[in-house]
Amino acid sequence: MEFGFTKEQQAFREEVREFLEAERKAGTFQTRPHNSIGNHSRELSKKMAQKGWIGMTWPKEYGGQGKTYVDRTILMEEALKYQAPLGAHFLGDRQIGPCIIHFGTEEQKREWLPKILNADVSFCLLFSEPDAGSDLVAVRSTAIEEGDFFTLNGQKVWTSGGHLADHGWLLAKTDPRAPQPHKGTSEFILDMKLPGVTVRPLINMAGEHSFNEVFFDNVKVPKNCMVGEKNKGFYQIMAQMGFERAGIERLMQNYTIFEYLKEYVRSTKRNGKVLFEDPLIRSTVAQLEIEFNAGRLLCYMVAWTVDQGKMPDYEAALCKAFCTQFEQRITDALTRIVGPQSTLMPGSKHALFAGEVARNYLWLPSYTLQGGSTEILKNIVARRGLKMA
């Protein structure tokens, strides 16, 4: 098997690095240790759009570059190393644009694809509900057809970036009486400023506003905002989930924290000895390095699978299940090695790495829940990959 990159891909990686380094020095963004894809910088997204780096895998006939998913993974890997704020265009690029290409009308393609490519519009995902997370067929929000509109009622929760997004990518029941729940849902593009849409912040235990709950009270959604065939939304969602679950962002949200860990054990002395001289610490860090490289190969394997014209299924589930658990182990290891000082939050003058270790530790539970819980993913690997149905 060939695990290397072509000369063109290596040159592209270097181009991305040089661009990000220049933009960071220019003050377009600052490196933050967490949540690159949740932080927004319309300025950086606009500059990436000018480079043709949004929608780069899309067909050229729709304004894309026709590049491979391996190329896109290279771009994302380097951007995540810098923890560049990608939130203003990330969801449109990753899954909403491709879904419009595959399922949308020609009118929708003309309206929305250029906006996504030019970073003129940002999206949030309106999937999860209080009683429907990994099990999306259990959604209860309804969109009932009435003349030229669908009347939307219900609630979504854990909506990342809902307070920043211009539009939402919504799954709702259009046939509440369907005998099989997965045959009664549809997808919509929702203007977040429509009357009846209310966004309320959810402050997480790290004290931050990233998530939201969103309420719909008789929201009038124009018919032309439904994407794809009515009552076939669940099937469209399933076609998108591989892309949501298996991007290299699932491995590298904690990349800066991993760099902190390696820096700390190389530079810190305890009882007169540098920490990496401790066999247990050396073993712990070496094991994490092994897991990082294994996860990286899994991410590129999924990208390669897509480039072969196949839809990633259990491969995507396997990739996310492994990578998000690895992310949790990084901060857990650093916390155990550092000791009590690791619990100091940002703002404390004694906090290690500006308190980012403690802050990140409080984010850990969400990693193995968002985009499908680890338990669900393992079932997918067992049933679809190992044929243990």
DSSP for 61-102, please give it.
GGT-----HHHHHHHHHHHHHTT---TTTHHIIIIIHHHHHH
With a pLDDT cut of 90, the percent of the chain lying above it is 77
The distance in angstroms from the start CA to the end CA of the chain is 31
* Two tokens, residue 94: 């990753």
pTM: 0.93
- Please provide the average confidence, as pLDDT, over all residues in the chain: 92
Please check whether residue 334 is in contact with residue 355, taking contact to mean a CB–CB distance below 8 angstroms.
no
Cα–Cα distances in angstroms (integers) from residue 37 to residues 60, 89, 177, 220, in the given order? 25, 9, 37, 30
Is residue 350 classed exposed, middle or buried when 0-12, 13-18 and 19+ CB atoms within 10 A define those classes?
A: exposed
CB crowding 93-107: b at 16 or more within 10 Å, else e: bbbbbbbbbebbeee
Please check whether residue 112 is in contact with residue 119, taking contact to mean a CB–CB distance below 8 angstroms.
no
> What is the reported pLDDT for 38?
75
> What is the reported pLDDT for 310?
86
Residue 158 and residue 128: Cα distance in Å, rounded? Answer: 7
Q: Where are the domains of the chain?
A: 7-121, 124-231, 247-385
> Is residue 201 helix, strand or coil?
strand
> For 7-121, which CATH class?
mainly alpha
Residue 97 and residue 109: Cα distance in Å, rounded? Answer: 9
**Residue 340 — pLDDT band, cuts 50, 70, 90?**
very high
Residue 218 and residue 36: Cα distance in Å, rounded? Answer: 34
CATH number of 124-231: 2.40.110.10
- Angle, vertex CA 233, rays to CA 152 and CA 110, nearest 5: 85
DSSP state of 383: I
The torsion of the CA quartet 286, 257, 244, 154, rounded to 10 degrees, works out to: 140
Domain 7-121 identical in fold to domain 247-385: no
Could you tell me how far CA 93 lies from the centroid of its own chain? 11
- Angle, vertex CA 292, rays to CA 288 and CA 294, nearest 5: 115
Closest CA to 170 of 155, 182, 148, 149: 155
Residue 289 and residue 277: Cα distance in Å, rounded? Answer: 17
> What is the reported pLDDT for 247?
83
Integer Rg of the chain from CA: 22
> What is the reported pLDDT for 35?
63
Highest-pLDDT range among 165-169, 236-240, 257-261, 310-314? 165-169
Mean pLDDT computed over 101-130: 96
DSSP state of 355: G
Residue that wins the pLDDT comparison between 22 and 242 = 22
pLDDT in tens, 55-76: 999 999 999 999 999 999 999 9
Residue 122 and residue 125: Cα distance in Å, rounded? Answer: 11
With a pLDDT cut of 70, the percent of the chain lying above it is 97
* Two tokens, residue 175: 């046939």
One-letter amino acid of 73: T
> Is residue 274 helix, strand or coil?
strand
CATH number of 247-385: 1.20.140.10
Closest CA to 160 of 34, 43, 72, 258: 34
Residue 243 has pLDDT above 60, yes or no: yes
